[in-house]
Amino acid sequence: AVPYNHRAIEQKWRKNWEEHPVNVNDGKKPKYYCLDMFPYPSGSGLHVGHWRGYVISDVWSRYKMLQGYYLIHPMGWDAFGLPAENYAIKMGVHPAKSTAENISNIKRQINEIAAIYDWDMEVNTTDPDFYKWTQWIFVKMFKEGLAYEKEMPINWCPSCKTGLANEEVVNGCCERCGATVTKKNLKQWMLRITKYAERLLNDLDKLDWPEKVKKMQTDWIGKSYGAEIDFEVDGREEKIKVYTTRPDTLYGATFMVLAPEHALAASLAADEYKEQVEKYIFDSSMKSNVDRLQDKEKTGVFTGSYAVNPLNQAKIPIWLSDYVLADYGTGAIMCVPAHDDRDFEFAKKFEIPIIQVIAKDGVENPDLTEAYTEPGIMINSDKFNGMNSEDAKRDVPGMLEEQGIGKKTVNYKLRDWVFSRQRYWGEPIPIIHCEHCGAVPVPEDQLPLLLPEVESYQPTGTGESPLADIEEWVNTTCPVCGRPAKRETNTMPQWAGSSWYFLRYVDSHNKEELVSREKADKYLPVDMYIGGVEHAVLHLLYSRFYTKFLCDMGVIDFDEPFKKLFNQGMITGKNGIKMSKSKGNVVSPDDLVQDYGCDSLRLYELFVGPPELDSEWDERGIDGVYRYINRFWNLVMDYKDCGVSATKEMVKLRHKMVYDITNRLDNFSLNTVISGFMEYNNKFIELAKKEGGIDKESLETMVLLLAPFAPHITEELWEALGHTDSVFHNTWPAYEEEAMKDDEKEVAVQINGKTKAVISLPVDVTKEAALEAGKAAIAQKLTGTIVKEIYVPGRIINIVQK
C-alpha cells in the first residue's frame, strides 16, 4: 500500500479547501457560533501552548458541522492597548506598523493549524471601521448617563504610566506589567457598570459556564445584605451613617471608625487632635486600597469626638483608620471588636473596650483571645438576650427602620469602571469639552474620531495622554455652540473593543450599523466560547455588561453574549513553568508540523492531558500519536477494497466505538477521545487479522469520527474509500444501543454458593436452558441430592445440594 505522506496530503487538502470551502451556509441549516478569545498580536508569535485552544475550538466546530450546523467560526485581532504599545515602544517602531506586522505573522501561523476560520468575518479593533462602533457605544452610554466624568483617586501604574480599573489590579500589582500600583487623583471617565450589578449577578444562572468562573464573578459583584444605621455625634448636629452586615452585633459596638476620606473626617477633630488627624488623612491618601486592606498592623487616630449608640445611648469614641474604605458602604463603620477580626485587632492595639454580645451557648467568655465570628445566642443585648443571633440579624434592621434610625440595605462590592487611559494606542474618547456646554459628545455622524498620528507616543506620566501635545487635534469647536473647545485626550482601555467584537463578526462589513438586527437575530449569540480563565472577571464581565446595554438599546435581542464557556488549561514547559521567550522554554510548532504533520500535532495537543487542566509539554510523546496515525492509515488502505462483509463482532465494535467517542467528546474529555481512537484502532486491527479484513462501513465510521481531529488525513482516506464529496459534508455517525449489547454473558455456576465454573450463555436464554447448561458444566461435581436451583439472569447459577 501507499505509505502515509503527511506533507503531500496536507498540501493537497489545504488547496482543495481553499477552492471548495466546506462550511457552507445554505440558509436552511441551524447556525452554531463557536468563538475563540481573539489574540493580542504580540511580537513573539505562537507556541505549542497557543495551539491548544485553537485546536480545541476547531475540533468542536468541525464536530458541530458534522452534526448539521452552519458554522460561525471567526477570528480577529485585539490590537489596541498596552501589550501592543509596550512592544512597539520596546522595539522603537510605531504601534500601527508593528501591529500590522505582528498580525500578518500570527495569521500565517494560525493558518498552519488548519482551523476552519471564516476570514471574511475578520475584525481588527484598531481598524477605524471597527472602532467607529466602539466609540459609538461610548456616545450612546454617555447619552444614557452611563458614562460620566469624576475626579477621584484611582489606581495608577507608575510603570505603564496610566490609570487602571479595579479589575486590572491583581494583589496590588498591575495586571499587565506586575509593578506595584499606587494612587493618583485624576479626572476620569467612568462607566456605570454598577447599574447592571443585579442583572449581572442574577443572569449567571442562565449560563452553562464553569462553576469556578461564575463564583469568581459572583464574588467580584459581591452582593451583601445589611443595614445602614444613623449614629448621632455627641454635642453636634451631624449624624454619621454606618453600613453593617451584622446588625445583630449593635449592642457590642464600642467604637466607630471613619475612612480618612470621609466628608466629616477632618471636621470631627477636636482642637487638640487637629494636627495629628490632618497628618493621618494626608498619609493615607498616598496608599492604595490593596495596601490598606492587607494584613498589616492597623493604624489609626482618635478624633476626640464621640458617637451615640442609638439603641442604648452609649457614647463611643470616633476614630479614623485606613482599613475602612471610602468607596464602600458609607465609608464609616460601627466597630464590634468581640465579633470582627479587624475590629478586635484595632481594639487590642488602642486599648478600646470589648463587649461580647453573642456566645456559643449563651455563656460569656470573660477573656476572648480572638473575635467570635460564628452565630450563637445573644447576650448583653437587652431585650434580644437569649435570642438566636441569626434571628436578631433578621429582626434588628426592621426594628431600626420602624424607629427611623436606620434602614435595610443591599450593597455591592462592584465599583464603576474606570475607563480612561493616559496612553496613545487606544480609541480616542469621542468627547469635546466646551466652557459653555460642558462635555459634549462628538456627533454620531462624525465618527470614527480618528486617532491622530503622533511623533512621540510614549506615555508622559503626567496624567495626560500623548494626545494632549497635538494642539491642532486638541483644539476644535464645540458641536453645540460653535465656540472654541478642546477634545478629550484620554483613550479607552484595551477592554473596550473586546467587550463587543463578537457581535461585529457576523456583519463585519456593515458601514451603517454596528450589526444589522437581521443578522444579529440569525447568527447571534455565541453558542460556545473557548479561551483561558485569566479573563474571568475582566473581559467576561465587561462583555456581559456591554451586551446587556446593547440589548436595552434594541441593537440586539439577547442579553447574555456567551451561552457556554470552556476554559482551557495552559501548556507549560518542563516542571509546569509557563512557556515564555524570556524563560527560553518556548516550543515552536513549526518544526513539529514539518516532521509529523499538522494532523499529528493537533492530536498530540489534545493527547497531552485533560483540556481544562495545565499540562506539561513532553515532545517525545508525539511519536506515539504519529505511529497511531500511520497504523490507522495502513488499516484503511489495506482493507478498503477487501470486500469483507460485517460480522456481528464488527458491528458491535463499531457501535461501541461511536458511543464511546461521542460521549467523551460531548463531555469535552478530548484526551480520552484520542486514547479511545488508539484503542479501537488496535481492536479493529486484531479483528481484521482474524477475519481477513474489515467491512467498509466500519472503516468509514472510523474516518468520520476522526475527521474533526485530523481533517487532512481523513479527507484523503475518505477519498480513498471511493467518495467524491468532502468528509465534512457527511453526518456524524449514530449508534444503536441494541447493537452494542453483548449477545452472550458470562455466568458463574456455583454449588452451595461456591463458584465451580464460568460459562457463556446467550443474553436471552430461558431459565430452564440456563439451569440445564449450568448443571451440565459441573455434572461431575453434582454428587449429592439437589434441593434448590437458583438462576440470577446474566450472573449466577447456584445449585444447592445436600
Note whether 347 binds ligand ANZ by CB under 6 A: no
Nearer to ligand ANZ, 307 or 702 (CB): 307
Q: What is each CA distance from 595 to 56, 219, 598, in whole angstroms?
A: 22, 47, 9
Q: What is each CA distance from 284 to 23, 50, 321, 346, 521, in whole angstroms?
A: 60, 43, 9, 17, 52
End-to-end CA distance of the chain: 66
Site string for ligand ANZ, 207-236 (x = CB under 6 A): -----------------x------------
Quote the strand ranges of 379-465, DSSP E. 406-411, 417-418, 431-434, 438-441
Nearer to ligand ANZ, 333 or 625 (CB): 333
Asked if the peptide bond before residue 337 counts as cis, ω within 30 degrees of 0, the response is no
Cβ within 8 Å of residue 579, ≥6 positions away: 47, 48, 49, 570, 571, 572, 573, 585, 586, 587, 617
Cβ 299 to ligand ANZ shortest distance, Å? 14
Q: How far apart are CA 242 and CA 228, in angstroms?
A: 5
Residue type at 410? Answer: V
244 binds, among Zn ion, ligand ANZ, none (CB under 5 to 8 A by kind): ligand ANZ
Does residue 581 have a known ligand-binding role? Answer: yes
Note whether 339 binds ligand ANZ by CB under 6 A: yes
Nearer to Zn ion, 485 or 673 (CB): 485
Q: Which stretch binds ligand ANZ (CB under 6 A): 187-195, 237-245, 564-572, 700-708?
A: 237-245
| Cα 784 from chain centroid (whole Å) | 71
Note whether 334 binds ligand ANZ by CB under 6 A: yes
Nearer to ligand ANZ, 241 or 433 (CB): 241
Nearer to ligand ANZ, 375 or 793 (CB): 375
Cβ within 8 Å of residue 768, ≥6 positions away: none
Do 197 and 412 touch, CB atoms closer than 8 A? Answer: yes
Cβ 35 to ligand ANZ shortest distance, Å? 35
Note whether 436 binds Zn ion by CB under 5 A: yes
> How deeply is 102 buried, as exposed, middle or buried, from its count of CB atoms within 10 A (0-12, 13-18, 19+)?
buried
Q: Which stretch binds Zn ion (CB under 5 A): 238-246, 474-482, 491-499, 783-791?
A: 474-482
Query: What is the size of the binding site for ligand ANZ (CB under 6 A)?
Result: 18
Say which residue the cell 499538522 belongs to: 598
Note whether 249 binds ligand ANZ by CB under 6 A: yes
Do 524 and 551 touch, CB atoms closer than 8 A? Answer: no
Of 411, 494, 547, 567, the one binding ligand ANZ by CB under 6 A: 411
Note whether 290 binds ligand ANZ by CB under 6 A: no
Nearer to Zn ion, 445 or 455 (CB): 445
Note whether 434 binds Zn ion by CB under 5 A: yes
Note whether 336 binds ligand ANZ by CB under 6 A: yes
Strands 76-77 and 123-124 come out as parallel
How many C-beta neighbours within 10 Å does residue 234 have?
12
Q: Which stretch binds ligand ANZ (CB under 6 A): 52-60, 326-334, 652-660, 770-778?
A: 326-334
Do 425 and 453 touch, CB atoms closer than 8 A? Answer: no
Of 273, 328, 350, 668, the one binding ligand ANZ by CB under 6 A: 328
Instruction: Tell me the torsion sign for CA atoms 329, 292, 191, 507.
Output: negative
Note whether 245 binds ligand ANZ by CB under 6 A: yes
Say which residue the cell 470616633 belongs to: 318
Residue type at 774? Answer: G
Cβ 328 to ligand ANZ shortest distance, Å? 4
434 binds, among ligand ANZ, Zn ion, none (CB under 5 to 8 A by kind): Zn ion
**Which residues inside 475-514 make contact with Zn ion, applying CB under 5 A?**
478, 480-481
Nearer to Zn ion, 170 or 437 (CB): 437
Note whether 325 binds ligand ANZ by CB under 6 A: yes
**Which residues inside 110-139 make contact with Zn ion, applying CB under 5 A?**
none
Cβ 485 to Zn ion shortest distance, Å? 6
Backbone φ/ψ region at 615: left (φ over 0), alpha (ψ -120 to 50), beta: beta
**Residues that constitute the known binding site:** 581
Q: Provide the binding-site residues for ligand ANZ, judged by CB under 6 A.
A: 224, 243-246, 249, 259, 324-325, 328-329, 331, 333-334, 336, 339-340, 411
**Residues that constitute the known binding site for ATP:** 581
